[in-house]
Amino acid sequence: MLNGIWENNKYGYISSSLRLKAMLSVLRKYDIVRGMNPLKMRLILEALGPTFVKLGQVLSMRPDFLPSEYVYELSKLQTKANPLSFEVIKTVIEKEYAQKWTNIFESIDETALGSASMAQVHSAVLKNGERVVIKVQRPGIYDVMAQDIMLLKRTVSLLQLFSKSRGVIDFMAVLDEMWSITKQEMDFMMEADHLDEFRHLNSDDPNVGCPQVYRRLTTARILVMEYIDGIRIDEIDKLKQAGYNVEQLGRNLGKNYIKQIIKDGYFHADPHSGNIWVRNGKIIWLDLGMMGRLSQQERSALKKAVYALAHNDTFAMKSAILSLGIARGKINHIKLYEDVDTLMMRYNNMRFDELHLGQLSQDIIAVLRQHNLGIIPGLSMFARGIMTIDGIMRITCPKISFVDILKDQMQSDFSKNFNWRDELKKIRQDGYSLMYRSMQLPEQLSDMIKMTMSGQTKVNLDLTGSEEPLKNFDKMINKLIIGIISSALLLGSSIICTTNMTPKFLEIPFLGVLGYLAALILCARLLISIWRHR
């Protein structure tokens, strides 16, 4: 594998020529010239190393760029790597702290708990006897990935230079987004901030937690956290042997993830089972390097979409979809309504408890793609996260519907936030506003009539679906104009030929000859155009 090249290098950096040679060898190994499929693409990205794995992960969160089968396969990308030697880890720690590691830690386990492409994790014991986990960034990883980004950007620039169009995917934008996310993940101070924010938002939930951060020992390249001694959420037999109610754990997991999305708008973007552990009856979330965010408007749109589906309200679903998309051009609202209606019919005979939110999210994203509506990053992260959590819940509590938990949570929020005094006040304000606008209608109608009579009224019409007829009409007018000009040239040239105007060509006035030639050329073009479109 490619990452083996830089893993064996002391500083993790190799020359551009050697890097390119290694990339080409991977492409040859997977016989890329014979075509691409989702599985092959994932294996190639994993073989090419951390930069390409991260690129694949970013693309998996951008379903507006790739078909759903590729998005699903890329979401499985693994970032495992061969572990670094303990000597390298000690060197990094001592360089970062500018002192011997033994001054801070009583001991560090030489065997890594986990080794990924960007960092390696070891358990350790502090001088005061507390057991912790140290996350150490791989030396030279920043340089390796920066070099790969540079090579990729050069390649994309060359492809755009020799291509007539930039294509559907703006790879430069994808690379910039990937590099921005990667730099954030490589700053462990930011992950520490994520842990603190997550803990604060979930402090009132006794069933949920995350590791405590040791701020005084955390730097941009080293993260020191509380050691979590527990059981993975998908290790059902171990959980049952430990006396846990697995079904209740699954329910708590679903309720908390819905709360992260609907209430907090701040949720774990990679909630696979390896990042969810159980300790002392509490669900502990790990690896908060990548978190998703949803604005209040986006959360309201998601709730509206679920409500619209439950009440078979196509107009409400269309409104929700428009709120979740970013318009990149003109929208064909009639076609959009038809596609949304087709989407609603697909779920029409399905019971509410049979609904899969992850699949619904993918269907909404597909509609957005069809109508050239940009997809907010939070929505694709939400879809990916929901599908992952739904899969975990099918293992832990198959009898409990994830959608039922969502419905209960939404009803609970409505009951909790409902205040009849506030609602009456809002009704009074809306009634007064409606009455005030109604009183202004005669005045506005009078102004509109005056403007119309004085010729100041302008009417803008947007006739959806009229583009093709108007284009044909435009072509017809152009042909008519060419015919009129040709007739005028022939008539004018004939009149000129009856005079003694000079200069002459073969005793015929020269301007008359030019007029005949111009008329013949225009007539020939007109006949060719008619023949092509007959």
Mean pLDDT of 84-102: 93
> What are the backbone dihedrals phi and psi of residue 123, each rounded to the nearest 5 degrees, phi first?
-85, 150
Mean pLDDT of 418-424: 56
Please tell me the least confidently modeled range out of 100-114, 233-247, 483-497: 483-497
Q: What length is written for the chain?
A: 534
Q: How confident is the model at residue 292 (pLDDT cuts 50, 70, 90)?
A: confident
CA distance 144 to 51: 8
174-197 pLDDT, tens per residue? 677 777 777 777 889 999 999 999
Percent of the chain with pLDDT over 70: 77
Please tell me the least confidently modeled range out of 301-305, 431-435, 517-521: 431-435
Residue among 170, 187, 234, 270 flagged as catalytic: 270
Mean pLDDT of 100-120: 90
CA distance 308 to 184: 37
Q: Where is pLDDT greater, at 12 or 68? A: 68
pLDDT score at 417:
52
Please tell me the least confidently modeled range out of 26-30, 273-277, 370-374, 508-512: 508-512
* Mean pLDDT for the chain overall: 79
- Residue 504 vs residues 208, 242, 496: alpha-carbon distances, Å: 99, 111, 11
User: For the chain, how many helices (H) and strands (E)?
Assistant: 20, 15
CA distance 448 to 134: 72
Q: Is the pLDDT of residue 3 over 60?
A: no
Which of 86-95, 175-184, 417-426 holds the top average pLDDT? 86-95
Residue with tokens 């390298």: 88
109 is catalytic: no
pLDDT score at 163:
45
Please tell me the least confidently modeled range out of 26-40, 384-398, 476-490, 498-512: 498-512
CA distance 517 to 505: 13
* Dihedral angle of Cα 369, 372, 376, 379, to the nearest 10 degrees: -20
CA distance 83 to 51: 18
Q: Is the pLDDT of residue 208 over 80?
A: yes
pLDDT score at 488:
80
How many CB atoms are located within 10 Å of the residue 73 CB? 20
Mean pLDDT of 200-213: 94
| 133: helix, strand or coil | strand
pLDDT score at 5:
42
CA distance 63 to 71: 6
Q: Where is pLDDT greater, at 119 or 477? A: 119
| 99: helix, strand or coil | coil
361-409 pLDDT, tens per residue? 778 878 887 887 877 767 777 877 888 888 888 888 887 777 777 777 6
Q: Which of 276, 324, 261 is nearest to 298 (CA)?
A: 324
Q: Based on the number of CB atoms within 10 Å of its own CB, is 252 exposed (0-12), middle (13-18) or buried (19 or more)?
A: buried
pLDDT score at 368:
84
* Host H or E run for residue 105: strand 105-108
Residue with tokens 């907090």: 264
CA distance 187 to 504: 85
* Host H or E run for residue 97: helix 86-97
